[in-house]
Amino acid sequence: MGIKGLTKLLADNAPKAMKEQKFESYFGRKIAIDASMSIYQFLIVVGRAGTEMLTNEAGEVTSHLQGMFSRTIRLLEAGMKPVYVFDGKPPDLKKQELAKRYSKRVDATEDLAEAVEAGNKEDIEKFSKRTVKVTKQHNDDCKRLLRLMGVPVVEAPSEAEAQCAALCKSGKVYAVASEDMDSLTFGASKFLRHLMDPSSRKIPVMEFEVAKILEELNLSMDQFIDLCILSGCDYCESIRGIGGQTALKLIRQHGSIEDILENINKDRYQIPEDWPYQEARKLFKEPEVFTDEEQVELKWTPPDEEGLITFLVNENGFNSDRVTKAIEKIKAAKNKSSQGRLESFFKPVANTSAPIKRKETPGNTPKETANKKTKAGGGRKKK
């Protein structure tokens, strides 16, 4: 999933591009969320123990609804305006990756059956996680739920990630929230991780800014895309023996995949035959997305109370009191999103004072310090 090792690569080489932010500080912001990713997480995490899942009377799984309902309310209560983007048809290049995932799931299903027979609890836990698959039914349930909640839903023509990034680039949303790092490769100007994590885990939101990443890595957007392809993406294989760190070095040295291919030692690195890196690059640069105003209309509306009760309580066996309370929360949250921010009135200016603290060692450029083990976010406080 996503780009291999990109988080670590960025933490080591572009620590200034990532910032820890408080969940609450995103009030009033429109945020595009990759729905499929979230649903997948909910199916794994919410109300599951071993092979047991949260279900309604008919035995259909409802973990995704529970997760989607409570997390979305949490976003709304914090004053955020979420937009959920659903996957459309996967691009042809991703089919290979999907086939791989499918076969992994088949393996896991077999392993699970064995584990159940053997009664090994740890293995049951491990393999049942791997058998989780988001079906069309799950997606449709969530879309229906979100529409009832008054939260906009966008159905992407192809990859949800790409559509999220397009919304962000065109300024329709403030940021993209996902756990999948390829949002950055698609060029989402601001990208948030851990936004959808449960509050109980107390993990701060990690904000990435593409412009700063490029500045810190000293790469162009095209070079960054090449770097991601070399590190390993969903669309094609990567060259064996080249990971993120080497890829960054090669890109800095040669500038593009084409030039790298001309210059590297072909005996040492095996370049895959028929390597479709150009198509992969095209998918990142010009993905199939809606840009039309009509197709991506974002409107937040009051919740449909009766609809929610029918759907959640009557059809899916949710506790009626809890749903009613939750609806009250959604309605109360509507007033919260109107707090203004100072940036909309005052513009940043450069501060003229220099810090009194001496730089650690003269001539130690920020880049070099960055290469040492500066942990993500932790690099700000010295001493």
Partner 1 sequence: MLELRLVQGSLIKKVLESIKDLVNDANFDCSATGFSLQAMDSSHVALVALLLRSEGFEHYRCDRNISMGMNLGNMSKMLKCAGNDDIITIKADDGSDTVTFMFESPTQDKIADFEMKLMDIDSEHLGIPEAEYQAIVRMPSAEFARICRDLASIGDTVVISVTKEGVKFSTRGDIGTANIVLRQNTTVDKPEEATIIEMTEPVSLTFALRYMNSFTKATPLSSTVTISLSTELPVVVEYKIAEMGYIRFYLAPKIEEDEDEHETKPQV
Of residues 200 and 339, the one with the C-beta less far from partner 1? 339
343 binds partner 1 (CB under 8 A): yes
Query: How many residues sit in the footprint of partner 1 (CB under 8 A)?
Result: 43
Stretch that binds partner 1, among 1-9, 166-174, 229-237, 340-348 (CB under 8 A): 340-348
For residues 195 and 31, the answer to whether their CB atoms sit within 8 Å is yes
Q: Report if residue 365 touches partner 1, rule: CB under 8 A.
A: no
Regarding 374 and contact with partner 1 (CB under 8 A), the answer is no
CA-CA distance, 104 to 185, in Å (whole number)? Answer: 26
**Residue 352 near partner 1 by CB under 8 A:** yes
- Residue 187 touches partner 1, criterion: CB under 8 A: no
**How close are the terminal C-alpha atoms of the chain, in Å?**
37
Note whether 265 binds partner 1 by CB under 8 A.
Answer: no
Applying CB under 8 A, which of residues 346, 365, 372, 373 lies at the interface with partner 1? 346
DSSP code at position 35: H
> Considering the rule CB under 8 A, would residue 331 count as an interface residue with partner 1?
no
Assess contact for 133 and 63: CB atoms under 8 A.
Answer: no
The verdict on 358 binding partner 1 (CB under 8 A) reads yes
Beta strand 205-209 with 18-21 is antiparallel
| Minimum CB distance to partner 1 smaller for 144 or for 194 | 144
Q: Which range, of 127-135, 195-203, 207-215, 341-349, touches partner 1 by CB under 8 A? A: 341-349
Residue choice 355, 365, 373, 375 for contact with partner 1 (CB under 8 A): 355
Q: What CA–CA distance (Å, rounded) separates 260 from 230? A: 10
**Measuring CA to CA, which residue among 340, 327, 344 is closest to residue 77?**
327
383 belongs to the binding site for partner 1 (CB under 8 A): yes
**Closest to partner 1 by CB, 220 or 301:** 301
Selection from 253, 227, 224 nearest residue 238 by Cα: 227
Q: How many Cα atoms are found within 13 Å in the side-chain-facing hemisphere of 232?
A: 15
Nearer of residues 202 and 358 to partner 1, judged by Cβ: 358
**Residues in contact with partner 1, shown as a per-residue x/- string from 283 to 302 under the rule CB under 8 A:** ----------------xxxx
Of 183, 203, 185, the residue nearest 195 (C-alpha): 203
Quick note: the x/- pattern for partner 1 over 54-93, rule CB under 8 A, is: ----------------------------------------
Among 11, 148, 195, 264, binds partner 1 (CB under 8 A): 148
> Could you give the dihedral angle defined by the CA atoms of residues 130, 87, 25 and 383, in that order, rounded to the nearest 10 degrees?
50
- The residue (of 105 and 147) whose beta carbon lies closer to partner 1 is 147
Q: Are 115 and 50 in contact (CB under 8 A)?
A: no
Of 125 and 304, which has the nearer Cβ to partner 1?
Answer: 304
CB atoms within 10 A of CB 140: 11
The answer to the question of residue 241 lying near partner 1 (CB under 8 A) is no
- Calculate helix-pair angle for 63-77, 320-333, nearest 10 degrees: 30
Is 167 in contact with 173 (CB distance < 8 Å)?
A: yes
Q: Rounded to whole angstroms, how far apart are CA atoms 220 and 211? A: 10
Tokens, residue 99: 């086939």
Interface stretch with partner 1, choices 19-27, 84-92, 155-163, 264-272 (CB under 8 A): 19-27
Would you tell me which residues interact with partner 1 (CB under 8 A)? 22, 24-25, 27, 144, 147-150, 299-304, 307, 334, 337-358, 380-383
